Each structure stands twice: as C-alpha cells, then as structure tokens.
C-alpha cells in the first residue's frame, strides 16, 4: 500500500488542502490540555510551508450537534497553538466553506497557513455529502490526508474531497504514512514470535480483531473486562464482573479456534466496589466470589504475560489490562507496559488508553510506535482496507 506522500509532489505556489486531526482535549476555559496531535502534524505542515506552498488545514473537534451552541468545539484554540508552535501567524476562518473561509483562502500567500472552522459544524461532513466536499475541494490544487485517527471513516473530508479532485495530486502526510507502514507491516509480514495483547471491556468490540490475529499471531493475550466473558464461557465464577452474557457462545468459539494461542488470565485482582478504596482480593481466574468484581489481571498473570512479551520479536498492544485510572487496579497495565519497554522487539501501541498508559509511565520513547488512532488502528488490525487511503495516489 505504498502511497505518494506530501514530499513526492511539487507544492511551490500551490494551495494544499490538508486533513489533519486537531481533535485535541480542551479544559472548561478552552485551553488545550494536550497538543500532541497538533505537534504530530508539524512535519507534513512544514513540508508544505518550507517549499513555498499555501496551506489550508481542516479538522473536526469533538461532537457538535446541530441547533446547539457549539462554540466550545471551535478550532480557534488549535489554530492559535499551531501558530505558537510554528512561530508564525496562522489565519483562522470563522466558517468552513462560507464567505470568511472563501475570502481568506483566496488571500493566502506562499508560506502561509489557514485553519478552517470545525468540519462537523456542517452536517455534510459526517454524511459524506458530495456538495460540501466539492466546495472544500474547490479551495485547493492538491489534497493531503494526515489524519490517521479518522482514516477508517468515510466523512466528506476523508473520501468526498479527494473524489472531487480528479487530475489533482492526492497524497498522504508523513503521520499517515508512518501509521500504515507500522500497522500493515505488522499484519502482513511480522517478525516472529508475534504477540498481540488485547484489553478493554467488551469482547464484541474486538471480535474481528481477535479472529484476524488468531490467524496471524503466535500468542494473543487477553486482559481487561472481556476476560470475564471468556471465563464465563469456560464455566468459571465471575461474581459481579462486567460480562457480555450474550457473547458467551462467541467466546466459546474463539476459545476453540484459538487453542493454546489464546492466553487468558490465571488470576484476578478484585474489589467489592468499583472504587479505589474498595475491599480488595486476589483470586484464581474463574473463582471471583459473589459481591466482588474483577478489576485487573492478578500478579501471576502479569508475570506470565511479561515473560511471553520478553520472548517476542513483534508486539501489538491495544487496551488496558484493568481499570488503569485507579492506582490499585493499574498494576497489570503497568506490568505489560514495563515488559514491552524492556524488550528490543518491534512494539506498536494502539491508540486510546494503551497509548495514554505508555506516555504516562514515560515509556513512549521506549516503544517503536504509538498510534494516534484507536479506532483506526483496531480496524487495521482487523485487516480492513480504508477507502480514505485506497483512493489516494500510488507511488
């Protein structure tokens, strides 16, 4: 899936419309609390500006709703932060395809940047509306997708815009190029042993991923609340643990298919309430008493998983091992992160809670790649193709 990148095209004097992921967290005063997503886009942005291109950036932020006051979802704080990071003024349009955006896009000079207002302020974005996409496409001479976090979606800015630009350059940015390389290479040609670690609450969220990885991996380690659905399928006692009773038969099928490839926890850290100050208990897997719920993998499981990870050459991790926001039930997640950091294997950390854990523990520079897209990385691990990437120019 070798796609042309922004570095492969001549941008001098041209206007590049770049889809970025500036969906950054904001506090109540609309201050950005983590600008990682903006900083991750800087290499692609600078590639255009340093070579004399004109740059128009578009992104979504949050989940605005029609007919409501959506001012808290404005991209103005992101535009301001980008200006600080670049050390140059960044223009901001107060609409997306309206008069302000059109005027500022037309006035843009070589080496200048314009950020459009939140794409999702227009209902046409989520609907993949062709007319909305056409108006965005009319701004530019070339299109660049550097928003991996939304690559699994068919929103107007992801699919409609490049489709509305026949004969024009349509490329990936460096961030998307890197994500595709790591995730697709891990799936298509892993260095073995290849170990996947899957956590999180629901088996249903990860059915297709587990199915796909059981056909590729040497071991698939299960953690998080979905482990209790598997335990239920084995006839174990799960107390008041979070389970999907309607997925027990499916869990049985996965257990049969996985055999010794599918590795479940051997013990569990429990609590008598979903709280840090609850009464705590460590029991063997499948032996959770009534009145208690499983909230983390136990110490024996943490050691077992760490030993498997240490023997791996490629590791993919998506999802925490327990309720990692509570210190007492973060030990399993920490043990897995530490084991990955201690190896010299190719390590790919899926987005969301796993990525947050690795960063919080200071291990981000000790892993090979931390994905910026939770949902997108999961779908790539399922083996899915992304239309938003497929339609871009081949090298």
Q: Please tell me which residue in 286, 298, 351, 352 is annotated as part of the active site.
A: 352
| 195, 171 contact by CB (below 8 A) | no
CA angle 258, 264, 269 (to 5 degrees): 165
List of residues 6+ apart from 352 with CB closer than 8 A: 318, 319, 374
Q: Please tell me which residue in 14, 37, 51, 81 is annotated as part of the active site.
A: 37
Q: Please tell me which residue in 83, 111, 375, 383 is annotated as part of the active site.
A: 375
Q: How far apart are CA 101 and CA 290, in angstroms?
A: 60
Q: How far apart are CA 118 and CA 116, in angstroms?
A: 7
Reply yes or no on whether 51 is catalytic. no
Reply yes or no on whether 202 is catalytic. yes
CA angle 42, 48, 51 (to 5 degrees): 125
| 350, 317 contact by CB (below 8 A) | yes
Residue in 273, 294, 265 with CA at minimum distance from that of residue 282 = 294
Reply yes or no on whether 109 is catalytic. no
Residue in 322, 314, 321, 319 with CA at minimum distance from that of residue 340 = 314
Which pair of tokens denotes residue 245?
Answer: 């009773």
Reply yes or no on whether 37 is catalytic. yes
Q: Please tell me which residue in 126, 202, 237, 366 is annotated as part of the active site.
A: 202
Residue in 23, 25, 18 with CA at minimum distance from that of residue 157 = 18
List of residues 6+ apart from 389 with CB closer than 8 A: 1, 3, 145, 151, 172, 176, 180
Active site residues: 37, 202, 352, 375
């Amino acid at each position: 899936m070798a796609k042309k990148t922004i570095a492969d095209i001549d941008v001098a004097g041209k206007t590049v419309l770049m889809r970025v992921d500036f969906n950054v967290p904001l506090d109540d005063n609309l201050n950005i609390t983590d600008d990682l997503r903006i900083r991750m886009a800087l290499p692609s942005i600078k590639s255009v500006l340093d070579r004399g291109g004109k740059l128009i950036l578009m992104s979504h932020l949050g989940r605005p709703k029609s007919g409501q006051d959506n001012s808290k979802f404005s991209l103005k704080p992101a535009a301001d932060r980008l200006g600080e990071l670049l050390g140059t003024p960044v223009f901001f349009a107060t609409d997306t395809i309206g008069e302000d955006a059109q005027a500022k896009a037309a006035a843009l000079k070589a080496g200048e940047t314009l950020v459009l207002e939140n794409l999702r302020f227009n209902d046409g974005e989520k609907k993949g509306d062709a007319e909305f996409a056409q108006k965005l496409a009319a701004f530019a001479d070339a299109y660049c997708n550097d928003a991996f976090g939304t690559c699994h979606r068919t929103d107007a800015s992801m699919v409609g815009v490049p489709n509305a630009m026949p004969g024009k350059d349509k490329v990936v940015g460096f961030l998307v190029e890197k994500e595709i390389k790591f995730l697709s290479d891990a799936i298509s040609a892993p260095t073995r042993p290849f170990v996947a670690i899957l956590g999180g609450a629901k088996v249903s969220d990860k059915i297709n991923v587990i199915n796909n990885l059981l056909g590729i991996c040497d071991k698939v380690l299960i953690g998080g609340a979905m482990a209790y659905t598997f335990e239920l399928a084995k006839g174990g006692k799960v107390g008041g643990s979070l389970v999907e009773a309607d997925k027990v038969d499916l869990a049985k099928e996965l257990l049969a298919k996985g055999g010794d490839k599918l590795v479940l926890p051997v013990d569990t850290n429990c609590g008598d309430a979903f709280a840090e100050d609850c009464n705590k208990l460590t029991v063997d897997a499948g032996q959770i008493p009534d009145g208690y719920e499983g909230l983390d993998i136990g110490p024996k499981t943490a050691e077992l998983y760490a030993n498997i990870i240490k023997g791996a050459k490629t590791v993919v991790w998506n999802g925490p091992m327990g309720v990692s926001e509570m210190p007492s039930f973060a030990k399993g997640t920490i043990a897995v992160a530490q084991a990955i950091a201690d190896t010299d294997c190719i390590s790919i950390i899926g987005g969301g809670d796993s990525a947050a854990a690795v960063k919080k523990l200071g291990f981000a520079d000790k892993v090979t790649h931390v994905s910026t897209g939770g949902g997108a990385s999961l779908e790539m691990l399922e083996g899915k193709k992304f239309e938003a990437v497929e339609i871009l120019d081949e090298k």
